[in-house]
């Protein structure tokens, strides 16, 4: 009490200019000193008057403080609409406020979400993308199963029949392995399941490629010519591995469990299609696995293939014979692209010249029985997903080992929807768009793209390391970027949609045959595109997909309807959240046009040198910083491959910067927006929280490992903290001390404007050697795990999904 009272008397001394000494009843004496005038005035006052005066001054100060608080609250208005209350609740439940945002922003933004979202059964990973895909799946299930509803095209009826055949488990169980066994017999049999005819190697390879679209040694496909993007061309690349990455075969110690599980799975499938003796089946499957391992050894790691200028080799088809003499190329090409006739002068782009030379040597020096067994194994593995429950059970056990997925496979209807979307997704997309896509979302997305493109170009204008000539060309490229939103136009015209699918049909009770017929139909469509200009209406993602991508040969960014929903975009949410969500997605895809691969393509989508050498060297110096930064991050002791993930890391960082700048511009034009209640966050802080919560996710250790060795994206945690720790704006708004984990002394930024860049340094290379392991899409689908058709071979041209 004594010390408290003394502090009170000191406050009085500050409030009253001069006072004389007084002795209070408790015996405490305070001496007041001042000028003579003040002294006499104060001295004339009674003890009570003096106390009242002090009380009056104190109350006045409190009243003024209340007014200031009210004025502040009026200036920062709260949004109390039902939508704002709802989104506030969602954000609060995802936060973990026990974590300091300057120490670990991912755990701060997503800790609550992670605690409330254990990985569901049948999944190896779970995140906001998965939850949104499940929402889309529920819509699609209703559309596909409501056969009494009126559909607007025959293509949509074909989609329903295809889905019905997938769901017809009674017929699938009745047929068992017969559809696959019949095809094996037509290919001369399989030494594992019975006698085989020693057919010509090239004839078996031709049949597999032309009739089953299986590529055991390399892939052949049609795509835009990277150096002449106005025309489609035949392209050849390395292929053949059945596990997701060469690392699984070569790093045997780390992947011993997966390799053992894979061999067990191979034996199980061998027995299911006719193997008589398990020991003998295992012996021959071990031979196949050994051959795959040899193939993995000659496969070039993806991080060594990022510079397309170095791996692009254009040649007439006849030169393939000299490059890889083990393959009879001209009959193969003519069978694959029938009815289009291919002659020896047909231009072909080869992306794996060294690999094709080595695979030819491997084929010529391997026993024909092993080669045949290996090729038929590809047919068995690809077809197993379309057969009875025994095959599904074997697949499930392998997925538990491979990805750590828990307990049970996904419900049949979810698998069938994913499979239908993969194969007939544009006809299915027409149904999805009509049922659930708000057309005004398209206008909002277009405006967002315009704002973020403008913000990116503003940064480009003052980039300190780029020369003026390259800067002008870069701006031209940014201006020329074409955006596609929601869906390709043709799917909303029933006549056009029916025209696309007129040569394909499906029946409700023959699932395996429907899949095979679709693969043949798809191959014919691809062959028809040869020598023609690429069509912008041909998307690489279906409308329900929860993702986005950039295509360098078309210089276009694509945002399917599936992603233009919460949490990425909500019409009634604060702009801070929308810029932090779909805005960063837009900025990410836009930045891909200028990442380490995208920058090699000009505004017309052609692969050519259009940067001056000085800017190329400066760019590489900037990116080395990011390679080093992300290479220092580890998951369960395993390092991220900074080289393999470089393009996505550049896009993450550039996307956040462009979206933040665009939000600043919006505020300048429109003024401050209302804040959300309860959170205690400014709208700038909300922007960063919105960005981070898009990436809330959990994975099994096995799935995390798979991501590190296959995915060109960094793990979600590091997509957040890697980007945040490079953002001075983040540290400013969260007041992070310099040197704290989220505000390191050294920062990496490739697209930092002048004035910002001077404050940042790149990390210097560490003297400690780093582990560089060779390093999936975001919405997990059952087909990715092997159940169902695998995607057709994609162009080596860098394709950039989110």
Q: Name 570's Cβ contacts closer than 8 Å, sequence gap at least 6.
A: 83, 87, 577, 578
CA-to-CA dists, residue 145 to 253, 430, 569, angstroms: 47, 15, 29
Continuous segment of H or E residues that includes residue 617: helix 613-631
Strands (DSSP E) found in 151-295: 218-225, 228-238
Cα gap 502→474, rounded to integer Å: 42
Q: Is 589 a catalytic residue?
A: yes
The dihedral over CA atoms of 583, 83, 134, 118, expressed in degrees to the nearest 10, equals 100
- 347-350 and 228-238: which strand pairing? parallel
Q: What SS3 state is found at 315?
A: strand
CA 311, distance to chain mean position in Å, is: 25
Residue by residue, DSSP assigns 67-90 as HHHHHHHHHS-B--SHHHHHHHHH
Q: What SS3 state is found at 10?
A: helix
Continuous segment of H or E residues that includes residue 703: helix 701-710
Q: What SS3 state is found at 222?
A: strand
Which residue is catalytic, options 595, 596, 652, 706?
652
First-to-final CA distance of the chain = 63
Which residue is catalytic, options 104, 589, 596, 648?
589
The CA-CA-CA angle for residues 600, 605, 607, to 5°, reads 40
Site of tokens 């699918």: 501
CA-to-CA dists, residue 668 to 325, 521, 661, angstroms: 65, 53, 11
**Radius of gyration in angstroms for the set of CA atoms belonging to the chain, rounded to a whole number:** 32
Cα gap 252→237, rounded to integer Å: 26
In the structure encoding, which two tokens stand for residue 575, read together?
């702009």
CA-to-CA dists, residue 343 to 157, 533, 603, angstroms: 39, 20, 32
Residue by residue, DSSP assigns 454-475 as HHHHHHHHT-TTS-HHHHHHHH
**Closest C-alpha among 672, 567, 656 to residue 105:** 656
Q: Is 652 a catalytic residue?
A: yes
CB 201 within 8 A of CB 372: yes
Q: How many CB atoms lie within 10 A of CB 147?
A: 12
Site of tokens 């027995």: 271
**Size (the chain), residues:** 802
Site of tokens 């008589």: 276
Q: What SS3 state is found at 476?
A: helix
CA 96, distance to chain mean position in Å, is: 24
Which residues are known to be catalytic?
589, 652
């Amino acid at each position: 009490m004594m010390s408290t009272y003394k502090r009170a008397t000191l406050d009085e001394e500050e409030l009253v200019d001069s006072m004389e000494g007084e002795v209070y009843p408790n015996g405490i004496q305070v001496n007041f000193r001042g000028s003579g005038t003040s002294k006499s005035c104060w001295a004339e006052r009674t003890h009570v008057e003096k106390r009242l005066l002090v009380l009056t001054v104190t109350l006045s100060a409190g009243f003024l403080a209340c007014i200031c608080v009210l004025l502040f609250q009026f200036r920062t208005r709260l949004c109390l609409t039902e939508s704002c209350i709802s989104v506030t609740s969602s954000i609060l439940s995802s936060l973990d406020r026990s974590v300091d945002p300057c120490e670990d922003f991912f755990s701060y933004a997503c800790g609550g979400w992670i605690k409330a979202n254990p990985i569901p059964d049948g999944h190896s990973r779970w995140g906001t993308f998965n939850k949104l895909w499940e929402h889309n799946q529920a819509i699609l299930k209703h559309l596909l199963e409501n056969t009494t509803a009126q559909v607007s095209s025959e293509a949509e009826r074909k989609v329903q029949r295809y889905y019905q055949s997938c769901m017809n488990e009674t017929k699938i169980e009745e047929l068992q392995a017969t559809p696959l066994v019949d095809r094996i017999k037509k290919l001369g049999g399989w030494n594992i399941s019975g006698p085989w005819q020693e057919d010509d190697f090239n004839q078996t390879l031709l049949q597999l490629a032309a009739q089953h679209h299986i590529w055991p040694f390399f892939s052949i496909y049609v795509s835009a010519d990277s150096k002449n993007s106005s025309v489609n061309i035949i392209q050849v690349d390395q292929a053949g591995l059945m596990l997701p990455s060469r690392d699984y075969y070569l790093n045997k110690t780390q992947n011993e469990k997966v390799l053992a599980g894979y061999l067990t799975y191979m034996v199980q499938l061998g027995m299911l299609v006719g193997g008589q003796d398990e020991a003998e089946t295992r012996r021959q499957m071990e031979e196949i696995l050994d051959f795959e391992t040899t193939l993995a050894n000659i496969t070039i790691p993806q991080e060594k293939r990022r510079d397309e200028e170095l791996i692009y080799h254009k040649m007439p088809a006849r030169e393939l014979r000299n490059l890889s003499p083990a393959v009879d190329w001209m009959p193969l090409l003519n069978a694959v692209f029938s009815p289009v006739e291919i002659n020896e002068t047909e231009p072909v782009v080869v992306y794996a010249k060294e690999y094709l030379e080595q695979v030819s040597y491997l084929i010529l020096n391997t026993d024909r029985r092993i080669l045949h067994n290996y090729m038929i194994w590809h047919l068995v593995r690809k077809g197993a997903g379309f057969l009875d429950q025994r095959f599904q059970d074997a697949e499930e056990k392998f997925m538990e080992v491979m990805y750590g997925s828990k307990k049970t496979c996904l419900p049949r209807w979810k698998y069938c929807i994913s499979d239908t979307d993969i194969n007939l997704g544009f006809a299915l997309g027409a149904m999805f768009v009509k049922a659930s896509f708000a057309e005004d979302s398209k206008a909002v997305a277009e405006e967002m793209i315009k704002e973020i493109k403008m913000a990116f170009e503003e940064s480009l204008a003052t980039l300190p390391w780029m020369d003026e000539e390259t800067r002008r060309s870069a701006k031209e490229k940014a201006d020329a970027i074409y955006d596609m939103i929601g869906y390709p136009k043709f799917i909303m015209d029933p006549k056009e949609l029916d025209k696309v699918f007129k040569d394909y049909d499906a029946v409700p009770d023959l699932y395996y045959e429907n899949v095979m017929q679709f693969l043949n139909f798809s191959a014919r469509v691809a062959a028809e595109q040869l020598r023609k200009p690429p069509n912008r209406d041909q998307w690489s993602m279906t409308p329900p997909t929860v993702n986005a991508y950039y295509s360098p040969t078309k210089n276009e960014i694509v945002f399917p309807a599936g992603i233009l929903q919460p949490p990425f975009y909500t019409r009634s949410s604060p702009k801070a959240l929308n810029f932090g969500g779909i805005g960063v997605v837009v900025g990410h895809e836009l930045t891909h046009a200028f990442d380490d691969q995208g920058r090699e393509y000009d505004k017309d989508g052609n692969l050519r040198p259009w940067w001056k050498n000085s800017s190329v060297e400066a760019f590489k110096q900037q990116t080395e910083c990011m390679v080093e930064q992300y290479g220092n991050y580890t998951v369960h002791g395993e390092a991220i491959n900074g080289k393999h993930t470089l393009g996505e890391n550049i896009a993450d960082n550039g996307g956040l910067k462009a979206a933040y700048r665009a939000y600043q511009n919006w505020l300048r034009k429109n003024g401050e927006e209302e804040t959300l209640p309860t959170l205690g966050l400014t709208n700038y802080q909300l922007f960063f929280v919105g960005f981070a919560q898009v990436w809330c996710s959990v994975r099994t250790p096995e799935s995390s490992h798979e991501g590190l060795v296959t995915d060109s994206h960094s793990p979600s945690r590091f997509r957040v903290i890697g980007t945040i720790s490079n953002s001075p704006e983040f540290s400013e708004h969260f007041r992070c001390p310099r040197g704290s984990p989220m505000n390191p002394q050294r920062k990496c930024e490739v697209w930092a404007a002048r004035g910002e860049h001077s404050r940042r340094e790149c990390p210097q290379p560490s003297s400690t050697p780093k582990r560089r392991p060779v390093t999936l899409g975001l919405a997990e689908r059952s087909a990715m795990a092997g159940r169902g058709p695998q995607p057709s071979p994609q162009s080596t041209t860098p394709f950039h999904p989110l």
